[in-house]
Chain A
Amino acid sequence: MPSLKDIKTQINSVGSTRKITSAMKMVAASKLRRSQEKAEAARPYSSRLEEMLASLASSAASGEGIIKLLTGTGNDQNYIIVPVSADRGLCGGFNSSINRETFKLVKSLEGDGKNVQIMPLGKKSRDFFNRVMKDQIIESFVDLNISNTGYDSALQVSNKLQELYFEEKFDKCILVFNKFKSAISQEVTKQQLIPLDVSNPSKEENADDSSAKAIYEYEPDEETILKDLLPKNVSIQIFKVLLESDAGEHGARMAAMDNATRNAGEMIDSLTLKYNRTRQAFITKELIEIISGAESV
């Protein structure tokens, strides 16, 4: 039987763990609100850019130079997969689900005979792929810290990707990230970044008023605008995904810490019960000893 002191120590340690987890939960909740606001603020820009791109996409028939971001290289052999994870743990299944899905995707593409390379964003996926398929990592970015550095860090990633693309290191780029559905649920989503996926539903909506779009004048001309627009679109997509993943991370951490706090509370209750029982047992035992001692005299 554990001594009273042992149980007391255990109660105290669980109690301080609970304090930490509940503090982490509150921090995550306030960060979640902030990053949600950020994601909200970024929306007008990306939706406008998408609309512009949709009205221009039809004019890009030839596949030369920068336009290749839209039309593709014509090949389908070399893939680059970009898993987007968090830099920190303690957020439930957030990181492991990204890693698992990416791993599955890589294996299935390799099964089809494609060459796959990985460019992890975030410490958790970098560490994972460093362990399981180190030689396939082409580049990694950690500590992007999107909610503080903002657009610049997305730009870094996008510049690197475009550099690799124009060196013809890959034909297709797929992002794997946690889509923010609500504060407590995230959905692992795969999005084709390069070449641009024109079957995007938000663009189909725009197809309805294409008659109104067609009468735009372009200055200097459609091709020049498209050449400016396409690289920006890649950066902004990455920016959007990073923000979404950041919000998702805080949501996931909040849920995980909420659970941990509740579990700690239950544990304290059962330990307190055990403590009281043990104490009572000691008292009873001592009483019995005294009584039997008195009887024998």
Chain B
Amino acid sequence: MATISFDLVSPENLIFNDDVGTIIVPGKDGDLGVLPGHSQVMSSLRPGRVMVYSEDKNLVKSFFVSGGFAEINPEKCIVLAESVVELNSLDKSSIEKEIEELGSNESKESEEQLSIAKAKLEAITVSFYDKI
């Protein structure tokens, strides 16, 4: 099976750059599974998980992104994300605490942060496949 080159870029640095088998990207209207030969798409992203699978369909890396953009063409997939964290570095209790704090605050800014924090919580609680 062919591979597709995948770049995950944040404003501060290039986080991931390798040839992989499949990437699952959290598009604004729903998750996109990107395989080699995908049609050309430009999508904005919602806060959610970016899952990277190797050619033999094992999970390589999983990230949480707080939004951004994806540019996909048959050979390459580029994700521009504003804040990127590895999924296994997230801690459930601290996120719950954050949600609680933000919930009591009612500014527009914290509303946005709240939705990101909720998406974070969802990202670590909802199950995913280690192998597809």
Contact = CB atoms under 8 A, between A and B. Distances in A.
A232 B82 contact: yes
B51 interface: no
Interface size class of A (residues with CB under 8 A): 20 to 34
B11 A219 contact: no
Interface string B39-53: 111111000000000
A290 interface: no
B80 A219 contact: no
Contacts of A55: 42
Contact of A44 (B14, B29, B43, B44): B14
B11 A42 contact: yes
A235 B13 CA distance: 15
B12 interface: yes
Given A45-B9, A48-B71, A225 B43 contact: yes
B9 A219 contact: no
B69 interface: yes
Interface stretch (A26-34, A96-104, A210-218): A210-218
Interface string A201-236: 000000000000001111110001100110010011
B7 interface: yes
Contacts of B36: none
Main secondary structure on A side of the interface with B: helix
Interface in B10-52: 10-14, 27-29, 32, 39-44
A239 B11 contact: yes
Nearest to A228: B44
Contact of A217 (B28, B39, B80): B39
Given A48-B80, A151-B82, A232-B82, A216 B41 contact: yes
A45 B80 contact: yes
Contacts of A42: 11-13
A89 interface: no
A224 B44 contact: yes
B60 interface: no
B40 A216 contact: yes
A215 B12 contact: no
B78 interface: yes
B14 A41 contact: yes
A220 B11 contact: no
Nearest to B32: A219
A150 interface: yes
A228 B69 CA distance: 9
A219 B32 CA distance: 10
Contacts of A190: none
Contacts of B28: 219-220, 224
Q: Which 3 A-B pairs have the closest CB atoms?
A: A41-B13, A219-B43, A151-B11
23 contacts: A42-B12, A44-B7, A44-B14, A45-B80, A48-B80, A52-B42, A55-B42, A150-B11, A154-B11, A215-B40, A216-B40, A217-B39, A217-B40, A218-B42, A219-B27, A219-B28, A219-B42, A219-B44, A224-B44, A225-B43, A225-B44, A229-B69, A235-B11
